[in-house]
């Protein structure tokens, strides 16, 4: 073999290696960074934690300037949020313009803000005034982005509870609540016009908690099980989350939208709960999140949409000790406040004993770091805490170690085969 032939073969092998490795690294993760707590480390300490996980996306439920500054030039993409209590203000185009200028434009391009979530689960608050403010707020925030030539790099969306569905089983019968169809249709039309995704918060855990005798634990934890068959489509489902996703697709199709991008903006499992919160254990939380990550890493869609990219956001970065409600609400975090994992997931976390935010001078309950109304920086208090994004089309990786080793074996085998042909 000539020197030139050797170089060609080596370059060919290199290209194949890049392809194989990028396939393994195809599961990027993002974390929602909720801050309803008084014992969290300052943002500067969180940056290496997020990086150590291979996370490429972070979602805030406000536009915390401390966080956005800390992550400048990190390459991590951000979703910033506008709390429900600010929707009425955003009906004023001038206030929407001011909010975008202060909380988005001011941090670009150093901090990669790619999306604004306007409100959270607005339609299921059953508050007519709040619901009526949602679309005007989204439109004015988008108009502000257009005026600043930012609409091509920053999208506008809102997250809905899966409770907007009136029926979800079987998945083919998915339909929106009749009283919400008009509002949902207007929001979906906005998504289609602006190219933004339709977000749903879905928790199989709640279905199991509500009826553990009827809902099989293995079915909600992505464990081996017989699954269900949709009698209309004859599609087989071996986990509840995918059934819920396809129920949303069916609901959208029922109002005339068959090709909307659906993303799961919240899903997760608590590692601890009250006595009546059956299933809230570290082992179940580990199984749910680890199996979900492994499933998404296989780059498969749902039974109804097998070729659609899965964008699933798992809830949440830290346990948040000031959240109200049952004990489970304070124990969805992948990490404890000291940076150690809440349960084994295949990464070490940051060293224990990091400084808490008490040294940063921020209000622990809000996380926004701003008290002046003119900044229009929303607080965490009105929204659910956050989530980890897993998508099958960008870099960064979080694998359960067995899955990673399996794929590493595939790479090594492919390398050996290629070299044997040189």
Tell me the range of 328-337, 395-404, 412-421 where mean pLDDT is highest.
Answer: 328-337
From 129, 125, 201, 100, select the one nearest 158 (Cα to Cα). 201
The C-alpha atoms of residue 245 and residue 266 are separated, in whole angstroms, by 12
Q: Residue 121 catalytic?
A: yes
Catalytic site includes residue 77: no
| Structure token pair of residue 129 | 């005034």
pTM of the full structure:
0.77
Q: How much of the chain is helix, strand and coil, in % rounded to 5? A: 40, 15, 45
Q: Is the pLDDT of residue 130 over 50?
A: yes
What pLDDT does 288 receive?
94
pLDDT(13) > 90: no
Distance CA 238, CA 247 (A): 14
CA dihedral 315, 318, 319, 325 (to 10 degrees): -50
Q: Which of 378, 239, 368 is nearest to 312 (CA)?
A: 239
DSSP three-state, residue 372:
coil
For residue 2, pLDDT beyond 60: no
Position 154 scores a pLDDT of: 98
Question: Please, what's the largest Cα pairwise distance for the chain?
Answer: 76
183: pLDDT strictly greater than 70: yes
Q: For a pLDDT cut of 70, what percent of the chain falls above it?
A: 75
> How many angstroms separate the CA atoms of 157 and 203, rounded?
20
DSSP 231: T
**Given this model, what pLDDT does residue 420 score?**
52
pLDDT for residue 311 = 82
Backbone angles phi, psi at 216, to 5 degrees: -75, 130
Exactly one of 77, 139, 266, 329 is catalytic; name it: 266
Catalytic residue among 121, 139, 320, 329: 121
């Amino acid at each position: 073999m000539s020197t030139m032939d050797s170089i060609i073969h080596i370059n060919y092998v290199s290209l194949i290696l890049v392809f194989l490795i990028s396939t393994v690294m195809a599961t990027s993760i993002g974390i929602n960074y909720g801050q309803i707590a008084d014992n969290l480390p300052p943002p500067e300490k969180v940056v290496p934690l997020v990086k150590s996980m291979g996370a490429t996306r972070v979602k805030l439920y406000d536009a915390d300037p401390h966080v956005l500054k800390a992550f400048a030039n990190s390459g991590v993409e951000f979703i910033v949020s506008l709390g429900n209590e600010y929707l009425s203000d955003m009906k004023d185009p001038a206030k929407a313009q001011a909010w975008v200028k202060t909380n988005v434009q001011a941090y670009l391009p150093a901090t990669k803000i790619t999306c604004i979530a306007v409100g959270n689960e607005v339609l299921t608050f059953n508050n007519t005034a709040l619901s009526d403010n949602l679309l005007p707020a989204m439109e004015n925030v988008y108009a502000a982005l257009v005026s600043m030539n930012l609409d091509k790099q920053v999208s506008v969306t809102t997250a809905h509870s899966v409770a907007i569905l009136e029926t979800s089983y079987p998945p083919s019968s998915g339909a929106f609540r009749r009283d919400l169809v008009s509002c949902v249709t207007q929001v979906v039309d906005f998504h289609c016009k602006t190219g933004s995704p339709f977000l749903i918060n879905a928790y199989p855990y709640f279905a199991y908690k509500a009826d553990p005798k009827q809902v099989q634990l293995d079915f909600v934890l992505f464990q081996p099980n017989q699954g269900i068959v949709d009698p209309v489509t004859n599609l087989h489902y071996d986990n509840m989350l995918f059934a819920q996703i396809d129920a949303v697709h069916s609901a959208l199709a029922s109002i005339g939208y068959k090709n909307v991008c659906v993303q799961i903006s919240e899903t997760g499992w608590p590692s601890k709960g009250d006595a009546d919160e059956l299933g809230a254990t570290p082992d179940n939380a580990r199984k749910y999140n680890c199996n979900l990550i492994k499933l998404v890493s296989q780059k498969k869609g749902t039974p109804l949409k097998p070729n659609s990219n899965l964008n699933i956001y798992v809830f949440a970065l830290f346990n948040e000790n000031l959240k109200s409600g049952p004990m489970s609400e304070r124990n969805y975090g992948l990490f404890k406040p000291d940076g150690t994992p809440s349960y084994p997931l295949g990464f070490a976390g940051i060293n224990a004993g990091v400084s808490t935010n008490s040294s940063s001078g921020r209000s622990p309950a809000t996380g926004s770091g701003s008290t002046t109304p003119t900044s229009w920086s929303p607080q965490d208090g009105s929204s659910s805490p956050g989530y980890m994004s897993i998508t099958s089309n960008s870099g960064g990786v979080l694998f359960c170690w067995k899955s990673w080793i399996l794929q590493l074996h595939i790479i090594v085998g492919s390398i050996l085969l290629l070299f044997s042909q040189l």
